[in-house]
Structures are given as structure tokens and as C-alpha cells.
Structure 1
């Protein structure tokens, strides 16, 4: 069943260590025409605990989409992506890598780890907002997300 048709919000896990980037992303997704809930964690360990409903995330809602920064403290986004895509219960969740890195090695490695797309965050705030709006429009309005 399509979440957009049954009026349930799309659940999004935002894994981002920058509070300013997280706040901008949350604000722009809040302006979406499609109902969504964003759950924000600041590091890779918290992301995996959230996804596995462990520790303080025992009652976490399974996300329909993950927005993942690569450059995280501790367990980085590459490690999170590898664990998510290696886990049979999580691998079908689409992962959008949203990072400042434009390094070709990061792009290639992310796709080799089965990222669903790779987006480089612009430094300019207006361009960053535009990129978040494009992600919002594509992943929330155009794409049919898997429903578990």
C-alpha cells in the first residue's frame, strides 16, 4: 500500500552531525506537500541503534527513507551504509547520501555499497535549500517507496 494513498506520513531518518544542516533539512521537509516525519540522529552509532530499535530508540518507527551524511563522528556514514545494506531486514530502505564530499572515491564507494543516490551539499545556503527541495520532491512525491 502506498503511504501517500493511506495518508500515513513518510518516515525519514536524517543522520547528520551538523545542527545547522539538520535544521535546514528538517525545515524544508516540513514545507513538503507530502506528510512526513523526520527523526534526526547525529552519529552513526545512533543511526544503527535507531534502525535496530535499540537503547533509547526501542520504540523507533522504521524509516521509509534514510538521508545519510558520510562524514560523521565515530562510526562514519560509509560504515552505516555498509551495515544497512548488509542487513536483510534493512537493505530495502532507500539511502540518499547527502554529504559535503564531492570526492569521486566517496561517490564510487557509496554506489558500490548500494546507496540509492549520492548528493553533494552545496556550500551556499540557497543552493543547499534548493537541493533539499529537489530531494523532497523526488523522494516524497515521485518515487514509490517500499512499505513493510
Structure 2
């Protein structure tokens, strides 16, 4: 597997993956509306095809993972992308990596916690509020769990 930064030539693929996974390129977390297709992106390639991607926003203090998608689960794609994001955060002098997921996303919670991330905040009703800006956010998520809340996870990377 090869991990690399995206180029302009990857934009169509990135938009397609975001649309498939996220219902479009708009991602709303902690009240912030991102156009994930315009964010820095790292891609995972295997045998010449893109099998995963991670979009992120970087500020002085942290690298925020906005989206992470692995087209093949349990094959190391997500771990490789997270490792690369951690390296990018360190190179940029960021003290932590953070991300937001939803209360139904049990697989993501397991994945991130097994890799050292910790739940640092729960924002009840945040997804309900986000639906006013992005009505396509589903009401019911993984495992038939109603989606209402955001969970923030963080990991120090310094």
C-alpha cells in the first residue's frame, strides 16, 4: 500500500468517494461546515487504485480529521492513514489529533480507541442541529441506532 497526498488530478475521485460515503462533500462537525473536497487529503493506493482517503484541517494546536474512508475494512488502510495523519501533525507542530464521530458509529469508536484516541467530549443533539444545514444526514445509523450526538476523540501526538 502506498500513502500519498492528493493532487488536483484526484479531485473527481475524492468528490465521488465523499459523495458515496458522506452524501456529498459537505461535512458538518462541532458547528463547522467543511467542504471536504477542498481540504488537504491523503490517499491510500493499492495496485494503482485508491482504496482509502483522509481529509483534514490543520490549525496551530491540532490536526482535525474531518473524514476517513477505507474502501476495504480490516486491511490496514485506516491505520495507515491515521499513522500518516499523526506524522503530518507532528511535522506541523500540532499537539494533538482530534475528530468527531456520531453516537451510532460503534465501529469507528472501537477503531480509534484501539489506536490510542480517547473520548474527550459528548455534544448531545449536535447532529440534530446539523440537520438544519444538511437535511440528508440520516436519522438512523449503524446497528439501527438513532443518530443525535457528536463524540469528540483526541490523541496527543507530540
* TM-score calculated relative to the size of structure 2: 0.37
Give the structure with higher Rg (CA): 2
Structure showing the higher strand proportion among its residues: 2
Higher relative helix content:
1
Point out which structure has higher relative CO (alpha carbons under 8 A, 6+ apart).
Answer: 1
